[in-house]
Amino acid sequence: MKENLYLNGGLAIINYNAAYPRSEKDLLSSADFANFLRNFIDYAKENLEDIYLYVLNGKTPREATFEMTKLLRQMIVLELDEIDSCYLNDKEKLLDFIEELYDFWKNHQRFSIINAGKGMAIQESSFVAADSAFNNLIRSLYRNVEEKVLGRKNSVYRQMQAGTNAAVAIRGNATKLSDTYHALKDIPFIDSIMLRTPMILHPKSNKRTGMFTERDTNPISEFTGNRHEWFCYPAKIGSLLAFIYFHRDFISSAVSLGNLFELANEDECRQKPDLICLFGNEDGKDQTTFYYDQAEDIWVGCVSYNERIEYFGYIKKMSLTLHNLAQMAKGWLPIHGAFVNITLKSGKRKGIMLMGDSGAGKSESIEALKALGHDKIKDIEVVFDDMGTIHIEHGIPYGQGTEIGAFIRLDDLDPGTPYRDMDRSIFMNPESNNARVITPAAPYDIVATNHKIDLFAYANNYDDKLGLHQFEDLEEAKATCVEGKRMALGTTQEVGISTTYFANPFGPMQKQDICGPLIDEVFQCLRDNNVFVGEIYTHLGFSKENREGLQIAAQQLLEFIEKD
């Protein structure tokens, strides 16, 4: 990244490699602060008329920026009665200006970037310490000028995130990519991430639309990025290695991956990836597509640059679609669902896998089970909360996961649930419909390990039946799962009764010819191993508020776990 400070709408990215302010004087004397102040004046013109007129005071915006910056520099070393400035004639308006300027900064999604191990401006500091110091600097500057105008100290101090929401350390990476992917060679990799949690983000979009479709040509041929505007999040998705390249305008989504996918280390990143995602490619096509590079054995996804893809579901589901396509090619069956190992205080342990599309009640059923069995359950080990796989080894079906975290609708959880782990969570548009939280769920070692399956159930949110039902006919079980029926609740673009092939629009639907035989093989293996195959009736298609049906289903799940 070339710029010291990159501003684009509500996004701010600070490049510590280019410049790092060590003092209030350094900050206020920088061209970056002047640029930011000028942006605020333009914002005030449209949104804060009184502040705009006060700051201009008969000057041009350029002159006002110079004069206000000069005043702020003077205020950090002089008393107000020693300063000659027209802005001091109305201290109440000056205080309003300071508050609004501070809020304008805090309302940005703020990130810092630094080269790992060789910071040009802060060689002696780690990126965490450097970012913490910057956070303290911004907060201290605000307090100093505010208290000087007030003429007194504050009585209450709030230690808020005044600097950035997150910090990213980057490095170069010598990948094993061929010349076909030469355009990606110099793009820096994320080495470490520091999240200031709970992190609250406000992406421009809060819903995913459209489908991921296959294309005939490799999207790398239309890649428009460069090392100044693009970065790579190297992720371990299940047992696969993914290089997720992203445009800096979508850094909030990419950084949020830190709570969802295990970050691959430097040694792992020297390997050839199984998956490549180009996220935010300025190809002018407004598409979400994928391609299989047979010669390199790499699945490549491409999401065109558009404001709507700032919704986290795009980067998550594109990555998982590529994972599922690659796993199906290996003979693994992707499962859109949830899988937990429940250990009771009595010592009994069962692996519970629930399958269903968005809004079917997978996570809700697990949460209801947790609440109902809190006095009987010793431990709940999460293997996956959204996407996993079933594969067969030596005639036994095993489940594995993909994610170390969960991306969950707040409305799908009991009121207190989002706050249990809020100190580690990322909240997205918490005040709006379809508000989401990304919270850690399981260590990678658990996610990428084989787990025995004792119960496999389709989450049915549209029938008025109650409890848990076991299929006697294996063909009926497969037909129910393949139909993928649900009452859609508007979490994507769908509302009302809908069907999706195998309840999974992220790979299986696109490659039904490959997925079909895998379904036959896996379901027969489940039956041969005496796994309970059935349906769980969640009733969530009728009412999100009335959870009586969900409670009955959870009760029968608990009874199943208690059985010998």
Q: What is the pLDDT of residue 494?
A: 56
Q: At what angle do helices 548-562 and 362-372 cross, to 10 degrees?
A: 70
Query: What mean pLDDT is predicted for residues 129-142?
Result: 94
| Average pLDDT of the chain, as a whole number | 92
**Neighbouring C-beta atoms of residue 393, cutoff 10 Å:** 8
Q: State the Cα–Cα distance between residues 516 and 183, nearest whole angstrom.
A: 37
Q: What is the pLDDT of residue 63?
A: 97
Q: What is the pLDDT of residues 136-188, one digit of tens each?
A: 999 999 999 999 999 888 888 888 889 999 999 999 988 889 999 999 999 99
Q: What is the pLDDT of residue 158?
A: 81
Element (H, E) at 333: strand 333-344
Q: What percent of the residues of the chain are helix, what percent strand, and what percent coil, each to the nearest 5?
A: 35, 25, 35
Q: State the Cα–Cα distance between residues 457 and 450, nearest whole angstrom.
A: 19
393: left (phi over 0), alpha (psi -120 to 50) or beta: beta
Three-state secondary structure readout of 503-554: HCCCCCCCCHHHHHHHHHHHHHHHHHCCCEEEEEECCCCCCCCCCHHHHHHH
Which has more confidence, 117 or 21?
A: 21
Alpha-carbon separation of residue 193 from 54, 78, 97, 114, 256 (angstroms): 40, 39, 33, 11, 9
Q: What is the pLDDT of residue 413?
A: 64
pLDDT category at 124 given cuts 50, 70, 90 is very low
Residue 412 scores a pLDDT above 70: no
Residue 265 scores a pLDDT above 90: yes
Check if the beta carbon of residue 522 is closer than 8 Å to that of residue 337.
no
Residue that has been written with the tokens 């002089």 in this structure: 78
What CATH architecture does domain 172-330 belong to? Answer: 3-Layer(aba) Sandwich (3.40)
Q: What are the structure tokens assigned to 98, written together?
A: 């300071």
pLDDT category at 18 given cuts 50, 70, 90 is confident
Alpha-carbon separation of residue 471 from 61, 224, 328, 475, 525 (angstroms): 72, 51, 25, 9, 15
Residue 547 scores a pLDDT above 80: no
Residue 52, CB half-sphere, CA atoms under 13 Å: how many? 11
Query: What mean pLDDT is predicted for residues 193-219?
Result: 93
How far does CA 2 lie from the centroid of its chain? 26
Element (H, E) at 127: helix 127-150
pLDDT category at 123 given cuts 50, 70, 90 is very low
First to last CA, the chain: 60
Q: pTM for this structure?
A: 0.94
Q: What is the pLDDT of residue 423?
A: 87
Q: Which residues contact 556 (CB under 8 A, 6 or more apart)?
A: 467, 468, 536
Check if the beta carbon of residue 184 is closer than 8 Å to that of residue 281.
no
Where in 176-229 does DSSP place strands (E)? Answer: 189-195, 199-201, 213-214
Query: What mean pLDDT is predicted for residues 32-40?
Result: 96
Element (H, E) at 56: helix 49-56
Q: What is the pLDDT of residues 429-456, one digit of tens each?
A: 998 888 999 999 999 999 999 999 999 9
- 221-225, 306-310, 494-498, 554-558: least confidently modelled range: 494-498
Which has more confidence, 435 or 564?
A: 435
Check if the beta carbon of residue 302 is closer than 8 Å to that of residue 219.
yes
Q: What is the pLDDT of residue 418?
A: 58
Q: What is the pLDDT of residues 324-344, one digit of tens each?
A: 999 999 999 999 999 999 999
How far does CA 195 lie from the centroid of its chain? 12
Q: State the Cα–Cα distance between residues 76 and 90, nearest whole angstrom.
A: 19
333-404+441-562 placed in CATH 3.90.228.20: yes
Q: What are the structure tokens assigned to 228, written together?
A: 């100044």
Which has more confidence, 494 or 61?
A: 61
Residue 524 scores a pLDDT above 80: yes
Q: What is the pLDDT of residue 169?
A: 94
Residue 382 scores a pLDDT above 80: yes
Domain extents for the chain? 5-164, 172-330, 333-404+441-562
